[in-house]
Amino acid sequence: MRGALRALHRFWFAPETPVTPPLMRIVLGAYVLFGMLPRDLRAVRQAWTRPTELVVPPATLDALPIPFPLPPELGPTFAAVMTALGVMVTVGLLTRPALLAYAIGYIYIGAVASSWGHYPHHKVLPVQMFMILAFAPGATAWSVDRLLMLRLRRRKGAPPSLPAALTGPPVPRWGTQLILVVIASIMFAAGLAKLRHTGVRWADGETLRFYFRGGTAVLPSTARTDSLPPQSRRPYFVGTIVGPANVAPEVAWRDGFGLEAYTYMVSIDALGRVVRKWPWTATAISVSTLLVELTMPLLLLTPWLRSLYLTAAIGLIVGINFILGISFAPWIVVFLCALDWEWLVDRVPVALRQLKAGRLWPPGRLLQREGAPG
């Protein structure tokens, strides 16, 4: 019991040089600021024109101190504040309050989108990362805040060196660990959801084969859109719903059919059309997806498993993008930042040299225990 508690304490509170939290803050901050925020602010402004009585706002929107929908006169202020916060998060100015406020602003943006029936799964990880970074030890490393502190210390004499001042002393690693646990938990949830709602038969590849064929929304024959360009027909589309065949009447009491889940919108890319030609690929992708998602928590065990699983997850996301046309680019940024870069920089060159010398297994120092003589 005491040993387990000690291991748990070591898992969360062992000291580390802060790398993942500041790297995540800077790289993800810059990506969100330039790659996501402009489009997200446009979407928030458009929400004003929609009939709000037709949505059931999520509880998070009620709890936030920002009105829904955002009145047009507040649009420019909200945009200016979010842009300023994005810059402050990235460069690290008033870092922790800025991270917290940015996370709140982004929860609002995500909740607005989800209240209109478009749950932004691609924003889940970035927003949760900002929430963690607002508290994580070491998240203020390599920041303007640290530079200002250094100037202050110089005035008082005996200043530390610039790199030491920017990095700071070793910190408890719970911020990095929490980032990894949240990643593992969300990826595991994706695998669990497939098993929970369909059982192991999801692995037979039929569901992905259906998506690879495309066209999961229909244009009703009563929608007169012939004169419209294809993109303008989207408001007339109807999302299709699946339900199992032969549902018991007491379960299907609403409509006699038994409607269960809505389908997702996909846009089959070139790779999707290629994959479609070989039906076995859908089964192979289904099995490997389940395998990666359900065993994702193993990334918490060792640095090499952490690198292996995060790389596999990046592969999965890239595959989804090129086959189904669904972009989860912000997740790739999160996974890249969450790699154990210190460990990779230390181990990979040696492993590559060993591989070059013809010793294929074990791959260099990659599989060595941490702390073993190098």
Partner 1 sequence: MEQPLRAVRRHAGELAAAAVITALLLPNLAALVVPYESFPYTSAPMFAHYKGPGTPLYRLRMIAEPADGRPEREVHAADLGLNGVSFSRTFFGDVYGSIDPYSPFGHHPGDTPRAFEERLGRYFGHVTAVLARRDTAGAWGRLAGLRLEAVRLDQAKRDAEVHVVGRYDAATRRFVHQWGREP
Whether residue 69 is preceded by a cis peptide bond, meaning omega within 30 degrees of 0, is yes
Q: Which stretch, 110-118, 142-150, 308-316, 349-357, contacts partner 1 (CB under 8 A)? A: 110-118
Cβ(142)–Cβ(166) below 8 Å = yes
Least Cβ distance, residue 187 to partner 1 (angstroms): 8
Rule CB under 8 A: choose which of 25, 146, 194, 365 binds partner 1: 194
Rule CB under 8 A: choose which of 48, 188, 322, 341 binds partner 1: 188
Rule CB under 8 A: choose which of 192, 294, 348, 350 binds partner 1: 192
Least Cβ distance, residue 303 to partner 1 (angstroms): 21
Least Cβ distance, residue 235 to partner 1 (angstroms): 4
Least Cβ distance, residue 197 to partner 1 (angstroms): 5
Nearer to partner 1, 161 or 222 (CB): 222
CA distances from 163 to 137, 150, 170, 216, 343 (A): 17, 11, 13, 53, 20
Q: Is 298 in the site for partner 1 (CB under 8 A)?
A: no
Interface with partner 1 in residues 33-72 (CB under 8 A)? 49-51, 53-56, 58-60
Least Cβ distance, residue 357 to partner 1 (angstroms): 43
Q: Is 30 in the site for partner 1 (CB under 8 A)?
A: no
> Residue 154: helix, strand or coil by DSSP?
helix
The DSSP secondary structure of 263-317, one letter per residue, reads PPP----HHHHHHHT-THHHHHHHHHHHHHHHTGGGGGT-HHHHHHHHHHHHHHH
CA atoms of 109 and 116, how far apart (whole Å): 11
Interface with partner 1 in residues 210-269 (CB under 8 A)? 210-211, 215, 217-218, 220-223, 234-245, 247, 249, 251-265
> Residue 172: helix, strand or coil by DSSP?
strand
Q: Which stretch, 79-87, 102-110, 146-154, 337-345, contacts partner 1 (CB under 8 A)? A: 102-110
Nearer to partner 1, 210 or 341 (CB): 210
Least Cβ distance, residue 324 to partner 1 (angstroms): 9
CA atoms of 96 and 130, how far apart (whole Å): 10
> Residue 334: helix, strand or coil by DSSP?
helix
Nearer to partner 1, 41 or 351 (CB): 41
Residue 170, CA atoms < 13 Å, CB-side half-sphere: 6
Q: Is 113 in the site for partner 1 (CB under 8 A)?
A: yes
Least Cβ distance, residue 249 to partner 1 (angstroms): 7
> Residue 59: helix, strand or coil by DSSP?
helix
178, amino acid identity: L
Those residues with Cβ within 8 angstroms of residue 6's Cβ, 6 or more apart along the chain or in another chain:
none
Least Cβ distance, residue 120 to partner 1 (angstroms): 7
Nearer to partner 1, 159 or 258 (CB): 258
The kind and range of the H/E element at 327 are none
247, amino acid identity: V
Nearer to partner 1, 144 or 190 (CB): 190
Of 25, 150, 177, which is closest to residue 96 (Cα–Cα)?
25
Count of residues in contact with partner 1, rule CB under 8 A:
96
Rule CB under 8 A: choose which of 83, 198, 281, 368 binds partner 1: 198
Least Cβ distance, residue 21 to partner 1 (angstroms): 13
> Residue 218: helix, strand or coil by DSSP?
strand
